[in-house]
Structure 1
Amino acid sequence: MNIMSEASIETAVNDRTAAAPETVKMRGEKVGVFYGDKQALFDVDLLVRQNQVTALIGPSGCGKSTFLRCLNRMNDTIDNARVVGRITLDGEDIYDRNIDVVELRSRVGMVFQKPNPFPKSIYENVAYGPRIHGLARSKTELDAIVESSLKRAGLFNEVKDRLHEPGTGLSGGQQQRLCIARAIAVSPEVILMDEPCSALDPIATARVEELIDELRENYTIVIVTHSMQQAARVSQRTAMFHLGNLVEEGPTEKMFTNPDDKRTQDYITGRFG
């Protein structure tokens, strides 16, 4: 884990308050997760605010990625996983039996830790989601969605002359931006990012962080990160997890300069984690 000085924290979080009034996009109430008999998450209450970046921090195994996967029901894919409590998207319970999980995951997209482009062309990676969801009525519309998504992901100018070459041939940072383009091609409302820069070099990481800041104008973003500098740079809100519990949550500037809980202070300054 990277240790931060007070000066670097204050520099990173300066002027990161949201301009727009806060609206709750997603809400977790008493969320608990069990893997078989083992409980991994305990009574988590957390608000995710619209058009803001919420960073989930904490030591390995603390429950932050487990909570992230609850937000688009990715835990449904684990045989012995059980989620209790309530999670809403625009006030609607996403675990209601009448919810279409495929539609939910188009509204709440996900970018994983390791870039995972499909073994298809750059174009087909981005076109896949809109095609299966019926978002384009013609090849012209599909072309427009692909171009727009690649532009929003800051990748179009780098790949516009090789759209039909394999996505796996791109650099690691480009592959991750391709995965972001693939996620936003189906017009999600929320984007979940599980350590999206952990496999990237510093230059690629900086580009993705710039992209996250641009994307929050149109999307709500929740990011899991081990990098305290990254959390301070990209987020407006930060939530600290420890041993499956939500320790505290608040504006990033306060969390990094004057947290309420000593565990948060100790983790941020590198005393444990």
Structure 2
Amino acid sequence: MPIASEAFLQQSGRAMTGTSKVTAKDVNVYYGDKHALKAVSLDIRANEVTALIGPSGCGKSTFLRCLNRMNDLIEGARVTGLITLDGDDIYDYSLDVVQLRARIGMVFQKPNPFPKSIFDNVAYGPRIHGLAQSSADLEEIVVSSLQRAGLYEEVKDRLSEPGTGLSGGQQQRLCIARAIAVSPEVILMDEPCSALDPIATAKVEELIDELRENYTIVIVTHSMQQAARVSQRTAFFHLGELVEFGDTEQIFTNPQQKLTQGYITGRFG
């Protein structure tokens, strides 16, 4: 198997750290008559991990799904406000949503490998997007993606075996490899470790820290400890509102809002 080329490893993460990659301004989400997300505005910086925290039903996953238009798939959902990726409105009518979701990938709460081989799970996206000019190119992308997901050494001798036969933690890393195989710029993660044991969780958290060198990552988590470990900035949501947003260390050690302090100290949530 070929080793990942430098060109492939460096082709993502175009924006510099500290610059805004995704910007949300006055974003509201309605599910029918329910006002689920209320006037949320925040900037997500390039090559950082932004954690979204808050009690169940607070709007954090709803906001995450806005970022690659997954709410479009929910009947009765309506999104207002402005969300931009590198300054471009992602809800523009002329935008190709399939291409948007290639640029902003998603990793879900429960690992969801396709009922295909490990190789074909990772090759699926590059095939449908025409990213490989030859079988050798495709093989390089698959190997590179598995290497970046920290999985290649564990599966290199069984790439033709079903992805569903891997352990839960390996399946989640396979899903991460599948997401990065199409060279996204942003990776969304919706509680990616909630179904994993502590050892698998530690591996995924270590992977997240490595990936942010090349990707912008937004993670929803119920674990405040996880948010503190993996993120540079943290947003606290409550009842559909963004209560506080700032550097993770500041949010956890010196929150400016009483509601944030109450959640961080365990008084509610």
Please name the residue that 2:42 is paired with: 46
Match of 1:204 among 200, 211, 215: 200
Output aligned runs, 1:133-152, within 5 Å. 133-152=129-148
Please name the residue that 2:112 is paired with: 116
The 3-state SS of whatever aligns with 1:200 is: coil
In the TM superposition, what is the alpha-carbon distance from 1:21 to its structure 2 partner? 4.8
Return the alpha-carbon distance in structure 2 between the equivalents of residues 264 and 151 of structure 1: 38
Match of 2:223 among 219, 222, 227: 227
For structure 1, the residue ranges without an aligned partner over 5 or more in a row are 1-19
Please name the residue that 2:235 is paired with: 239
Tell whether the 8 Å contact from 2:51 to 2:235 is kept in structure 1 after alignment: yes
The 3-state SS of whatever aligns with 1:26 is: strand
Return the alpha-carbon distance in structure 1 between the equivalents of residues 75 and 131 of structure 2: 31
Return the alpha-carbon distance in structure 2 between the equivalents of residues 21 and 93 of structure 1: 21
Residues matched between the structures, number: 254
Match of 1:158 among 150, 154, 160: 154
Return the alpha-carbon distance in structure 2 between the equivalents of residues 183 and 58 of structure 1: 26
In the TM superposition, what is the alpha-carbon distance from 1:94 to its structure 2 partner? 0.1
Q: TM-score, normalised by structure 1?
A: 0.92
Output aligned runs, 1:175-214, within 5 Å. 175-214=171-210
Tell whether the 8 Å contact from 2:17 to 2:46 is kept in structure 1 after alignment: no
The 3-state SS of whatever aligns with 1:192 is: strand
Return the alpha-carbon distance in structure 2 between the equivalents of residues 123 and 232 of structure 1: 34
In the TM superposition, what is the alpha-carbon distance from 1:268 to its structure 2 partner? 1.1
The 3-state SS of whatever aligns with 2:268 is: coil
Please name the residue that 1:9 is paired with: none
Return the alpha-carbon distance in structure 1 between the equivalents of residues 171 and 72 of structure 2: 26
The 3-state SS of whatever aligns with 2:219 is: strand
Return the alpha-carbon distance in structure 2 between the equivalents of residues 23 and 216 of structure 1: 14
The 3-state SS of whatever aligns with 1:142 is: helix
Change in CA separation of 1:165 and 1:21 when aligned onto 2, cut-off 3 Å: closer
Match of 1:216 among 207, 212, 215: 212
The 3-state SS of whatever aligns with 1:99 is: coil
Q: TM-score, normalised by structure 2?
A: 0.94
Query: Counterpart amino acid of 2:66?
Result: C
Output aligned runs, 1:1-150, within 5 Å. 21-150=17-146
- 2:267 matched to 1:271? yes
Tell whether the 8 Å contact from 2:17 to 2:47 is kept in structure 1 after alignment: no
Return the alpha-carbon distance in structure 1 between the equivalents of residues 163 and 267 of structure 2: 41
The 3-state SS of whatever aligns with 2:25 is: strand
The 3-state SS of whatever aligns with 1:164 is: coil
The 3-state SS of whatever aligns with 2:234 is: strand
Return the alpha-carbon distance in structure 2 between the equivalents of residues 171 and 22 of structure 1: 36
The 3-state SS of whatever aligns with 2:126 is: helix
The 3-state SS of whatever aligns with 2:100 is: helix
For structure 2, the residue ranges without an aligned partner over 5 or more in a row are 1-15
Identity of aligned residues (%): 78
Return the alpha-carbon distance in structure 2 between the equivalents of residues 184 and 266 of structure 1: 37
Render the CA deviation track for 1:17-72: whole Å, top value 9, x for unaligned. xxx75100000000000001111000000110000000000000000000000000
Return the alpha-carbon distance in structure 2 between the equivalents of residues 134 and 21 of structure 1: 29
Tell whether the 8 Å contact from 2:47 to 2:215 is kept in structure 1 after alignment: yes
